[in-house]
Amino acid sequence: MKLFEPGSAPPDQPKANARGAVPALIEGVIPLPPLLRLRTKSSLEQLYTGERLSAREISRLAGASRSGVLKALDRFNVPRDRNRPTRTGPVPFGFDYTSHQLVENEAEQAEIRKMREYRAGGLSLRKIAGNLNLKLIPTKHNGVWQANTVRAILARA
């Protein structure tokens, strides 16, 4: 592979812009960031039809909304399988949704066990949530722990 000086580009590549930056992302050579995967038909089609991920699962991978994924599928004319089994409602903390069924997430299950231990030790729901936040333990959607969230998880488990 031939190397080029900073600010220069091979003859068949675009030249540097006004700031001296050369476009760096080349599909197939450098992996695209998740959000950019929604902008190429081949990668979106691979996720949806090849790996059989749902629009919800693709939206989590890409950090985009589900409606944005559905619009991208329509924009690229990717045929949507309306008979595909879908999950309605959110995936509960402690589980992942793979192959159309709930599967225990071991890391999240360990955190639920810690929550139970804290509660049995006499800690309030607010203090449990505070401990989880201090330890930087992520919620299901990378939010902030609240006492009501801890209450719902402990009530379900």
Encode pLDDT of 45-70 as tens digits: 888 887 778 787 888 777 778 888 88
Distance CA 36, CA 44 (A): 10
Q: Answer for the pair 91, 97: CB distance below 8 angstroms, yes or no.
A: yes
- Full domain range(s) for residue 146: 105-156
pTM above 0.85, yes or no: no
Domain count, the chain: 2
Measured torsion, CA atoms of residues 11, 16, 20, 21, in degrees rounded to the nearest 10: -110
The last residue of a domain, from among 47, 81, 115: 81
Confidence of residue 145 (pLDDT cuts 50, 70, 90): very high
SS3 34: helix
**Within a domain: residue 134?**
yes
Q: Average pLDDT, stretch 19-30?
A: 48
**Within a domain: residue 75?**
yes
**Within a domain: residue 19?**
no
Task: Inform me whether the pLDDT recorded for 96 exceeds 70.
Answer: yes
The last residue of a domain, from among 18, 46, 81: 81
pLDDT score of 101? 82
**Within a domain: residue 71?**
yes
